[in-house]
Amino acid sequence: MPKTALSSQEPDLSKHPFGVDVDADLKLLLSEGKRLLPRFDEDQVRRAFQFCVDAHKNDVRATGEPYYTHPLQVALIVIREIPLDDISVMAALLHDVVEDTSYSLKDIASEFGQEVAAIVDGATKIDDVFKSREITQAENYRKLLLSLVNDVRVILIKFADRLHNMRTIDALSRARQERLAHETMELYAPFAHRFGLGNIKWELEDLSFKVLNHEAYDDIKRQLNTTREERTRFIEAFARPIADRLTAQGLKFEISGRPKHLYSIYKKMVTQGKTLDELYDLFAVRIILETEDNNDCFLAYGIASEIYRPVPERFKNYISMPKKNGYQSLHTTVISNDGKRVEVQIRTRDMHERAESGVAAHFRYKAENGSTASWVGSADLEEWADWVRDVFEHAGEEAAEQLLESFKLNLYQDEIYVFTPKGDLRILPKGATPIDFAFDIHSQVGASCIGAKVNGRIVPLDHKLMTGDQVEILTSRNQSPHRDWIRIAVTHKARTHIRRILNEERRSLMLEGREIWEKKARKIDLTINDDDLERAVIKLKFDHRNDFFVALATGSIDVDEAAERILKVTTPHLQDQATDSDSTLTFTEYTAAARGDGGGVHIVGDETPNARVMFSYARCCNPVPGDDIIGIVTIGSGIKVHRSSCHNVRELQDKLKPRLVDLTWSARASGNFLAAVKITGDDRAGMLNEITSAVLSVANTNIRGVNIDAFDSLFEGILTVYVRDTAHLEQIFQKLRGIKGVRTVERFEA
């Protein structure tokens, strides 16, 4: 069937093959639009509705209703619950036309303009993503975010679309219900939260919860219904004295009880291990003030706190420090006269509108001022947009699961509020570390970070920041990120930059190592192609020839030794021997392999053929190549490698004797090893800077963390550094001992 533009003859809306009242639906749409939207082109919306009905006249929903009722309900949700503008209403009416009918985007653009067509196109592309079973969930996130870069209204319409689908989910098969509910809980609810659409987020969660755990949903709902009258009486009695005092102060207000949504109650029951009867804060009292003065909110808080005893640690001031999604309100918890905890939320009418509509409120206020609604121009939204753009700029370097993890951390995590030394506010996810703070300031600050002062006290890089902390980042131009930082950082921005820097450093080392190898190969007249070299280095226990090149560049393996070993494995008669030794092990040999060469350590006196053993280095003493070492055989975790002098081993020598094995370092032991250094001396200005500069002046040294305390005129500190071996560590010791005022430098054991 050829695609054609809208017919000049309007469909007969008074009749419909399904017997619905199309005229009544149109009247409802127009009346709601005129009532709730400041800018509403009635003629254009009427035409879009007629186009929608005509385009979907042969389509039926799973419920048996004519299909046009779905885009109609989506448009009504846009009007009532995410108040945007008439462009959004038209796009909502037409959002399925291109995907499900013979009309094209070109038809939409010619009839209703490019702006409407662009929003419809974005919504269609998102639908295409979900229909492809081969697209990963991380790519779904990426597609959703991509739609925001052009027009945020695309995702807002998709919220409305998903909300109506969830409201009518009972008509679908059980398998489709579960797929839709999982997707909604994992994808749409977190995005609704991030956009400040509190009511929609709660309803999406509850509707998904109903599908995924119907028994728990029904049980909680039944218990809440049983106690509804009791709760209503309690709220009225609780609110009455507050209302009387607010009235006496001449304030106009609305006060009401708000029961918490079912999924929130369920999560609290699970995390706290309590029954519904044991949860006191099942509802909140919300006070909405009809005022433009934010100070009136603090007056109302004072009144509530005078009448009822407040719980100090439960006070949250989101007015002075709004959430990233723009949410503002005062939250406090007080103890009622009968001992129950009640959450009280206090906000102005303007704050309430923005809390209900989230990001959509910015469009409405712009429209009221006569300007075109757009993403650009709102400072708080621009910060959100910058994060989106940063995601896309570097997304290609991340695996899908890493990208998904980053999105979830940023979308659905509690926030903390921390400050720079100059008092500038930074909002980070809960659990953020100084590394996250440093990269939030600037990528170069993050890359050169060696430590931080939190509230004037030096802390290690994995220190968890708290709301109210003042953070000063300590940097050095000789510092560079370590791979361990990826585990420490929690924000997408920090992890992305760390990975990129590490990848760039690795690429540089690979090129340097390749050049070293090629020079050596030419010198000994060795001709070997990449495939043969790959096979040879695998026999040397490298996973890939690039790892071999990196080892050459870092000095972890000597090029002369490497050349000699590669010549052996590439010599024909020695290759045969190597093949024999790699053949299938007998049972006796297999059981003995647990005591074989582990790649980093070797069990003394064992002649077992090359085999890997599971082992790990003890964190209490942090052994490095060159230390005398001993192993403790553990159940399920292989061998735990300790320094022979470790106090934990000495104290338990007799008890552990049957499980102790003598170890030596393997010739293949390479890489960076964590070592802790204890340093004491005279406290004076500039001492910390001299210590870090001394450590970083030793080639190929990275600082993992610095923690120093001062007592009167003395200081004591612990430095954790990455080293190759004890000789490397001794170089650091010598540098530290050369600092004026340093008294002792020694290995530290936890």
**DSSP output for 527-584:** ---HHHHHHHHHHTT-SSHHHHHHHHHHTSS-HHHHHHHHHHHHSHHHHHHHHHHTSP
Q: Are 107 and 133 in contact (CB under 8 A)?
A: no
Among 170-184, 497-511, 540-554, where is mean pLDDT lowest? 540-554
The number of residues in the chain equals 750
Higher pLDDT, 237 or 155: 237
100 given a catalytic annotation? yes
Tokens of 394: 């570097």
Domains of the chain: 22-208 (1.10.3210.10), 227-358 (3.30.460.10), 673-747 (3.30.70.260)
pLDDT given at position 495: 86
pLDDT band of residue 146 (cuts 50, 70, 90) is low
pLDDT band of residue 573 (cuts 50, 70, 90) is very low
pLDDT given at position 89: 93
pLDDT given at position 376: 39
Cβ neighbors of 34 (< 8 A, separation 6 or more) are 40, 42
pLDDT given at position 278: 66
pLDDT band of residue 347 (cuts 50, 70, 90) is very high
Most confident of 7-11, 196-200, 271-275, 406-410: 196-200
Does residue 725 have a pLDDT over 60? yes
pTM: 0.54
pLDDT band of residue 330 (cuts 50, 70, 90) is very high
Instruction: Kindly report the number of other CB atoms within 10 A of residue 129's CB atom.
Output: 16
**Mean pLDDT computed over 241-263:** 88
Longest CA pairwise span in the chain (Å): 101
pLDDT given at position 589: 37
pLDDT given at position 325: 67
Q: Which residues of 387-416 are buried (b: 16+ CB within 10 A; e: fewer)?
A: bbeebeebbeebeeebbbbbbbbbbebebb
Residue 293: closest CA among 326, 258, 253? 253
CA pair distance 125, 381, nearest whole angstrom:
23
Does residue 389 have a pLDDT over 70? no
Higher pLDDT, 13 or 452: 452
Does residue 390 have a pLDDT over 90? no
Does residue 51 have a pLDDT over 90? yes
pLDDT given at position 227: 73
Does residue 3 have a pLDDT over 80? no
Does residue 551 have a pLDDT over 90? no
CA pair distance 83, 76, nearest whole angstrom:
9
Does residue 307 have a pLDDT over 50? yes
**Mean pLDDT computed over 146-171:** 80
pLDDT given at position 669: 65
**Mean pLDDT computed over 365-389:** 48
CA pair distance 211, 80, nearest whole angstrom:
25
pLDDT tens, 609-625?
A: 444 566 778 888 889 99
pLDDT given at position 5: 38
* Residue owning tokens 């003065």: 293
pLDDT band of residue 398 (cuts 50, 70, 90) is very low
pLDDT given at position 365: 45
pLDDT given at position 425: 77
**Mean pLDDT computed over 79-101:** 88
pLDDT given at position 562: 78
**How many Cα atoms sit within 13 Å of 10 on the Cβ side?**
9
Q: Would you report the helix, strand and coil content of the chain in percent, each value rounded to 5?
A: 55, 15, 30
Catalytic residue among 32, 99, 462, 534: 99
Catalytic residue among 100, 350, 380, 662: 100
CA pair distance 33, 45, nearest whole angstrom:
9
**Mean pLDDT computed over 82-111:** 88
Residue 557 CA from chain centroid, whole number: 38
pLDDT given at position 661: 85
pLDDT band of residue 362 (cuts 50, 70, 90) is low
Question: Among residues of the chain, what percentage have pLDDT more than 90?
Answer: 22
Tokens of 10: 């309007």
Higher pLDDT, 413 or 454: 454
Most confident of 105-109, 381-385, 716-720: 105-109
Does residue 188 have a pLDDT over 50? yes
DSSP character string of 161-225: HHHHHHHTGGGS-HHHHHHHHHHIIIIIHHHHHHTT-HHHHHHHHHHHHHHHTHHHHHHHHHHHH
Most confident of 63-72, 268-277, 514-523, 577-586: 63-72
pLDDT given at position 524: 76
pLDDT tens, 663-678?
A: 888 766 667 788 889 9
pLDDT given at position 419: 85
Does residue 49 have a pLDDT over 90? yes
pLDDT given at position 47: 94
Does residue 364 have a pLDDT over 80? no
Among 200-209, 279-288, 332-341, 374-383, where is mean pLDDT lowest? 374-383
The rounded mean pLDDT for the chain is 78
CA pair distance 315, 329, nearest whole angstrom:
11
Question: Among residues of the chain, what percentage have pLDDT more than 70?
Answer: 77
Does residue 587 have a pLDDT over 80? no
